[in-house]
């Protein structure tokens, strides 16, 4: 009996312990407390996320496009290996996992609530994302994408069909902007709720799409021109489609990515392109002191930390920081700038992959436009984080000046060089005007290029612009049709400083300019006609196959194969 009692005691004891901790026996804990659940989503919050990610997306591909077209410097002597597949993983993920899925999810909420302007903004961004992915990669998943567990291996759609879908999205966006929304988005980073401007942006992106596909679509130029005729597109700088960056350093870092990469406590992190600096500084090595096609935007695009480039333009060389100043240019560089541009425009040549010397406070940095850096007022001070505009720059997405260049391109195609010239100069001067008025100028700048403090010390800003226009105009008039194409394209590229996506498209579409600095490697392989697919696409999707090389042409590129085209490569 005693045994039984003890047994009962034991069972009771155990039972008490087990029951008192019934949280121990709960086997239904499946909700993740570390995040919200999808049903707690807010359409405004989605749209905020997409807008910010969109800015990074445009900036990222814009930089890659610039690197290909020597607007920016590219490291890589071998085009096949210059960009590894993984270098696009982040953007691929941001596009699909981030923006496109967020928009899809937002749209279903927005449709229920009549938030047509949310939807419309999303459609404009989505169309740009899709076109850019096609421009860089070719065929991409679209109709089978974003299905989650229903399709873990989305097959790709032809680039052509994705472009068509993008144009449809833009038409739908215009309709939605014209619709009355039950509520407007909480935040519009681009136009602050001005829907007329959004409609212009949507139409201009349609122009961009028609322009891109003009080699494969016989009606593209007519479609393009019908928008031009309507006048309902970005024709004025006030309508520019652009993202504004801020100055906040941490939590969140709102600075322009080019600024945060270049304005650091240890100096510059990126090199500027010798090719572009050389072109913009003009044909006279003394640049602004005896200007010859000197472009005043040079002082806004680039910030020089030193006044001379060692080993260049007769300066003594310095083996410690610019070793190539001691070396003769390779034979295939005859006629091109090499190693650096005189007077402190210290960048790198296309393809140079040398190690990094301690030149962080010597090399040229991004300037005030569009990165929000420092205006080059000839003071040559080394720059650190916080200097200049603190990163409050912009990423241009579609500018009025660019539409002028697009129109000029159609005119050149139509054989109307004189009107093309007029239109090009409208674009150039829109761009100059935008750039030089981008932010307040320093007193020093005004005393050198303005009338302040008894200036100008050199000549008036407006004089430089006039001289530049005159020099360029004479160059145009003297040149052959091919020379005119070169001028048009170089000036288009200059205006696109800050986003080279359209430059890369233009270069593949027209083959111009023919004068770009070649790769420092004499045999770099064929030019990149489209990039390797991102590794996180081909490595995880059984319906995706990596390309055999970077010479695969996107659907709208019917030009001759690489190498041989474009001429400068």
Partner 1 sequence: MKTKFSGILTLLLAFVVQFTFAQEKTISGTISDESGMPLPGVNIVVKGTANGTQSDFDGNYSITANVGNVLVFSYVGLKTIEQTVGAANTINVTMQEDAAVLDEVVVTAQGIKREKQALGYAVSEVASESLEQRSEGDIARVLSGKASGVRIQQQSGVSGSGTSVIIRGFNSFSGSNQPLFIVNGVPFASDTNAQGNFVNGNNGSSRFLDLDPNTIENVQVLKGLAAATLYGTDGRNGVILITTKAGSSGQTGAKKTEITVSSSLFLNEIASIPDYQNEYGGGFDQAFGWFFSNWGPAFKKEGPGGWGNSSAFDANGTLPHPYSTASSATGIPQAFPEYAGARYEWRPYDGVKDFFRTGVVKNTNVNVQSASDDGKMSYNVSYGNLEDQGFTPGNTLRRSTFGLGGRAELTNNFTASATLNYSRTDFTSPPVAASYGSNVSGTNASVYGNLFYTPRSVDLMGLPYQNPVTGESVYYRQNNSIQHPLWTVNNAGNSQLTNRVYGNLQLTYKINENLNLMYQLGIDVYSENNVNYANKGGKTGSQANRDGRYQTWNNLSTLNDHNINLTGNYDINDDFYVSFAVGATSKRTVYDRNGVTSTGQQVFNVLRHFNFAEQNEIQFFNERNLLGIYGQAEVGFQKALYLTLSGRKDWVSNLAPDNRSIFYPSASLSFVPSKVIDALAESEAVNYLKLRAGYGTSANFPTGYPISSTLILNTQTFQDGEGVDVVSNTTGAQLGNLNLKPERIDELEFGVEGRFFKNRVTLDASIYSRKTKDLIIDRPLDPSTGYTTTQTNIGEIQNDGIEIDLGIDVFKSDANGFNWNASFNWSTSEAIVNDLGLDTDIVVYEGFTNLGNAAIVGKSLGTMVGTAIARDDNGNFRVNAAGSYVTENGLNVIGDANPDFVMNWVNSFSYKNFNLGFLANWTEGGDLFSYGIATPLGRGVVTQKGIDRQNSFILPGVNPAGQPNTTQINNSTYYFSNVLYGPDEMLVYDATVFRLQELSLGYDFPAKVLEKTPFGSINVTFSAYNLWYYAPNIPSVTNFDPNVAGLGVGNGRGFEFLNGPSSKRYGLSIKASF
Residues 2-31 binding partner 1 (CB under 8 A) are 2-3, 6-7, 10, 13-14, 17-18, 21, 23-31
**Residue 96 DSSP one-character state:** I
Would you say 40 or 229 has its CB closer to partner 1?
40
Torsion sign, CA atoms 135, 139, 144, 149: negative
**Considering only residues 453-492, where is the footprint of partner 1 by CB under 8 A?**
none
**Residue matched to tokens 């008894």:** 454
226 CB-near residues (< 8 Å, 6+ apart): none
- Contact positions with partner 1 (CB under 8 A) in 371-410: 381-385
Q: Contact 500/493 with Cβ under 8 angstroms?
A: yes
Rounded-to-integer distance, Cα 265 and Cα 387, Å: 11
Q: Which two tokens stand for residue 420?
A: 């093309």
Supply the DSSP string of 425-466, one letter for each residue. HHHHHHHHHHHHTSSPPPHHHHHHHSSGGG--SS--HHHHHH
Least Å distance, CB 474 to partner 1, is 40
Q: Which of 290, 481, 482, 540 binds partner 1 (CB under 8 A)?
A: 540
Residue 428, both tokens: 């150039």
Among residues 208 and 348, whose Cβ is nearest to partner 1? 348
Q: Which of 93, 236, 307, 545 binds partner 1 (CB under 8 A)?
A: 93
Beta bridge partners of 351: 75
Binder of partner 1 out of 267, 372, 390, 393 (CB under 8 A):
267
Give the DSSP letter of residue 31: S
Beta carbon nearer to partner 1, 43 or 291: 43
| Residue from 231, 252, 314, 331 binding partner 1 (CB under 8 A) | 252
CB of 345 to partner 1, least distance (A): 18
Q: Residue 328 interacts with partner 1 (CB under 8 A)?
A: no
Among 165, 535, 553, 565, binds partner 1 (CB under 8 A): 535
Specify the residue for token string 């004891």. Answer: 13
Candidates 102-110, 173-181, 420-428, 561-569; binding stretch for partner 1 (CB under 8 A): 102-110
Binders of partner 1 among 211-230, rule CB under 8 A? none
CA atoms within 13 A on the CB side of 359: 26
Looking at the Cβ atoms of 19 and 222, the one nearer to partner 1 is 19
Site residues for partner 1, 68-87, by CB under 8 A, read 77-78, 80-81, 84-86
Question: Cβ of residue 10: shortest distance to partner 1, in angstroms?
Answer: 5
Q: What is the rounded CA–CA span in Å between residue 239 and residue 126?
A: 20
Q: Which is nearer to partner 1, 246 or 313 (CB)?
A: 246
Q: Can you tell me which of 124, 272, 287, 362 binds partner 1, judged by CB under 8 A?
A: 362
The contact mask relative to partner 1 for 487-526 (x = CB under 8 A, - = no) is: ----------------------------------xxx---
Instruction: Check binding of 261 to partner 1 (CB under 8 A).
Output: no
Q: 350 by DSSP, 3-state: which?
A: coil
355 binds partner 1 (CB under 8 A): yes
Size of the site for partner 1 (CB under 8 A): 111
- Are 393 and 256 contacting, i.e. CB atoms less than 8 angstroms apart? yes
At residue 208's C-alpha, the angle toward residues 203 and 214, to 5°, is 120
DSSP 98: I
Place of tokens 């039950």: 182
Q: Which of residues 142-201 bind partner 1 (CB under 8 A)?
A: 145-149, 151-154, 187, 189
């Amino acid at each position: 009996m005693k045994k039984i009692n003890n047994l009962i005691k034991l069972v009771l004891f155990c039972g008490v312990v087990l029951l008192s901790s019934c949280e121990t026996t709960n086997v239904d804990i499946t909700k993740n407390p570390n995040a919200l659940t999808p049903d707690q989503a807010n359409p405004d919050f989605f749209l905020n996320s997409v807008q910010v990610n969109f800015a990074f997306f445009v900036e990222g591909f814009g930089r890659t496009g610039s690197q290909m077209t020597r607007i920016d410097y590219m490291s890589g002597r071998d085009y096949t290996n210059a960009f590894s597949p993984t270098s696009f993983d982040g953007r691929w993920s941001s596009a699909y996992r981030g923006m496109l899925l967020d928009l899809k999810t937002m749209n279903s909420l927005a449709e229920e609530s009549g938030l047509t302007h949310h939807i419309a903004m999303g459609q404009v961004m989505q169309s740009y994302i899709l076109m850019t992915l096609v421009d860089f990669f070719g065929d991409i998943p679209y109709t089978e994408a974003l299905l989650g567990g229903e399709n873990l291996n989305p097959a790709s759609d032809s680039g052509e069909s994705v472009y068509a879908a993008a144009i449809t999205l833009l038409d739908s966006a215009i309709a939605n902007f014209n619709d009355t929304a039950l509520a407007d988005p909480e935040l519009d980073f681009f136009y602050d709720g001005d829907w007329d401007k959004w409609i212009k942006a949507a139409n201009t992106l349609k122009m961009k799409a028609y322009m891109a596909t003009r080699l494969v679509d016989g009606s593209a130029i007519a479609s393009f021109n019908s928008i031009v005729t309507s006048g309902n597109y970005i024709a004025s700088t006030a309508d520019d489609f652009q993202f504004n960056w801020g100055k906040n350093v941490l939590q969140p870092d709102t600075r322009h990515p080019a600024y945060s990469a270049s304005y650091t406590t240890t100096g510059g992190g990126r090199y500027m392109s010798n090719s572009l600096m050389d072109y913009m500084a003009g044909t006279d090595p003394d640049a602004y002191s005896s200007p010859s096609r000197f472009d005043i935007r040079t002082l806004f695009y680039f910030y020089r930390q030193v006044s001379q480039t060692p080993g260049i333009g007769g300066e003594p060389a310095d083996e410690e920081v610019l070793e190539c100043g001691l070396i003769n240019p390779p034979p295939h560089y005859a006629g091109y700038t090499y190693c650096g541009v005189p007077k402190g425009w210290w960048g790198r040549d296309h393809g140079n992959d040398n190690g990094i010397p301690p030149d962080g406070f010597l090399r040229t940095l991004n300037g005030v436009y569009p990165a929000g850096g420092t205006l080059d007022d000839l003071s040559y001070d080394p720059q650190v984080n916080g200097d200049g505009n603190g990163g409050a720059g912009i990423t241009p997405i579609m500018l009025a000046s660019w539409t002028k260049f697009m129109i000029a391109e159609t005119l050149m195609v139509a054989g109307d060089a004189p009107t093309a010239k007029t239109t090009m100069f409208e674009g150039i001067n829109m761009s100059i005007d935008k750039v030089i008025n981008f932010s307040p100028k320093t007193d020093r700048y005004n005393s050198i290029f303005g009338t302040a403090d008894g200036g100008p010390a050199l000549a008036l800003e407006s004089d430089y612009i006039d001289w530049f226009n005159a020099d360029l105009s004479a160059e145009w008039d003297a040149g052959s049709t091919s020379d005119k194409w070169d001028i048009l394209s170089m000036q288009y590229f200059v205006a696109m400083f800050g986003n080279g996506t359209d430059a890369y498209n233009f270069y593949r579409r027209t083959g111009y300019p023919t004068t770009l600095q070649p790769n420092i490697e004499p045999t770099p392989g064929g030019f990149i006609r489209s990039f390797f697919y991102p590794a996180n696409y081909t490595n995880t999707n059984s319906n995706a196959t990596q390309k055999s090389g970077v010479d695969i042409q996107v659907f709208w590129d019917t030009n001759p194969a690489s190498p041989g085209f474009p001429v400068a490569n």
